Copies of this chain bind each other. A is one copy, B any other.
Amino acid sequence: MLQIREYHASDWPNVWPILRETFAAGDTYTFSPRSTEEEIRKAWTEVPVRTFVACDPDGQLLGTYFIKANQPGLGSHVCNCGYVVPARARGRGIASQMCEHSQSEARTLGFLAMQFNFLVSTNTGAIRLWTKLGFSIVGRLPGAFNHRKLGYVDALVMFKQLVP
């Protein structure tokens, strides 16, 4: 049973290692592997409207995500989310549950749609998952991601309307 709740500042010591591990791999997020802890803390927990953590019944952190407006003003009805699950917890449906949770939260916050700006094209597991959850590929950015192992690969834009 996964518990998904709002992030508190006291969660940071548990959140940071899983973000650091994920960004250091250099295969899914644009954050530079050389980003400082403070830069990442701000981007993940201060810039967004809301940040959440997913925990198992013992309180162990199994994932985190943020939600924010994707554009200011006249584009602010579309939100953007970022999800991270540590390697040790993958394959258990945690990203899927966080994504469902984020769509519900987004509707509560008044967002009409959700956009992923930059899904690395080689991250086929995530693309398959978001497609299953109702997202469509609406764009392809040629060579826009500098994959740490593969070099320049395409990034995809995915989109889902949240209200009929």
Give A contacts to B, CB under 8 Å.
Answer: 26, 29-35, 70-78, 112-113, 115, 117-118, 138-148, 152, 155, 157, 159, 161
CA A26 to CA B75, docked complex, whole Å = 11
Q: List 27 A-B contacts (CB under 8 A).
A: A30-B71, A30-B72, A30-B74, A31-B72, A31-B73, A32-B73, A33-B73, A35-B73, A70-B144, A71-B144, A74-B145, A74-B146, A74-B147, A75-B144, A75-B145, A75-B155, A77-B146, A115-B141, A115-B144, A117-B117, A138-B139, A138-B141, A138-B142, A139-B141, A139-B157, A141-B159, A142-B159
Alpha-carbon gap, A147 to B74, bound state (A): 7
List B contacts of A140 (CB < 8 A): 138-139
Closest partner residue, chain B, to A147 (CB atom): B74
Docked Cα-Cα span, A72 to B157, in Å, equals 17
Given the known A-B contacts A139-B138, A141-B115, are A148 and B30 also in contact in the complex, defined by CB atoms under 8 Å?
no
Question: Which B residues lie within 8 Å of A147 (CB)?
Answer: 74
> Once bound together, how far apart are the Cα atoms of A152 and B77, in whole Å?
10
Cross-chain contact A71 with B115 (CB below 8 angstroms)? no
Q: Which of B75, B138, B141, B148 interacts with A146 by CB under 8 Å?
A: B75
The listed residue (B78, B142, B148, B152) touching A144 by CB distance below 8 A is: B78
